[in-house]
Chain A
Amino acid sequence: GNSVTQMEGPVTLSEEAFLTINCTYTATGYPSLFWYVQYPGEGLQLLLKATKADDKGSNKGFEATYRKETTSFHLEKGSVQVSDSAVYFCAPGNEKLTFGTGTRLTIIP
C-alpha cells in the first residue's frame, strides 16, 4: 500500500519564521496527496491537497507541490504564527486512509 516518510518532530520555531516540513511518499500509480492538521483537542482536518503531478495545493498561507520526480510533497509557509501550533500529517491517498506519526509544530512568540 501507499506510505509516507515524514519529517520527525517536534519542530519548534519562532513566530514569523519560515517553515518546511518534509514529506516523501511511496505510491502505486498517482494518488492524490494530502496534508491534514490536528489542533489540540480536535480531530484532523484537511489543510490542503493536490490531485496530480505538479499541482500546488494551498490554504491559510501553507503550500505544497506534488513532485512526481522526487516523490515529495513538502509543506511550506513563509511566516508562521503561534496559531499554527499543531500536529501535521502528510498522507498519500491509499486504500484505507492511513497516516504516519505526524510532525508536532510549536511556534513560540
Chain B
Amino acid sequence: NAGVMQNPRHLVRRRGQEARLRCSPMKGHSHVYWYRQLPEEGLKFMVYLQKENIIDESGMPKERFSAEFPKEGPSILRIQQVVRGDSAAYFCASSQGQPRNTEAFFGQGTRLTVV
C-alpha cells in the first residue's frame, strides 16, 4: 500500500504563473488535508476535503487559492498568479476516517519556489 504521494516534489514558477500541486491519498482514504509550511515554522492548516466536498477551508486565502478532491484522481491545490510570498513547502495528508480519532499520513511535500 503506497503512502501519500505528492508531486512534483519541487516546483519553480515565475511570478504571475499558475502552480498546480497534486496529492494522491493512501488507498481507501477519503479525507484529505493541505498545509503550508515556511522554513523553521509550524504547519498552517489550509483546507480539509472529503471526496468532492470541501469540509473546511478556513485556512485558505480568499483569492488565488483553490482546492479540489474529485471523485476520480488526486486532490489538487491550485495557486493562480503566484507571488514571491507563496514560496513555501506544501504538505498533503490523508486519513481513513474523521480526524478526531484517526491518524493521518503525510506526503513528502511539494517545495514551491516563486522567482
Binding site for B on A (CB under 8 A): 31-32, 34, 42-46, 49, 51, 87, 89, 93-102, 104
Given contacts A34-B103, A43-B107, A95-B100, contact A89 B93 (CB under 8 A): no
Question: Which of A32, A42, A44, A102 contacts B100, CB < 8 Å?
Answer: A32
Binding site for A on B (CB under 8 A): 4, 33, 35, 40-43, 45, 48, 55-56, 58, 91, 93, 95, 99-109
Given contacts A95-B56, A97-B33, A99-B45, contact A43 B101 (CB under 8 A): no
- Helix, strand, loop or mixed for chain A's interface? loop
**Cβ–Cβ contact A93 & B100, under 8 A:** yes
Question: Which of B40, B45, B48, B106 contacts A44, CB < 8 Å?
Answer: B106
Q: How far is the CB of B31 from chain A (nearest CB, A)?
A: 8
**Cβ–Cβ contact B41 & A49, under 8 A:** no
**Cβ–Cβ contact B33 & A43, under 8 A:** no
Q: How far is the CA of A89 from the CA of B41 in the complex (A)?
A: 12
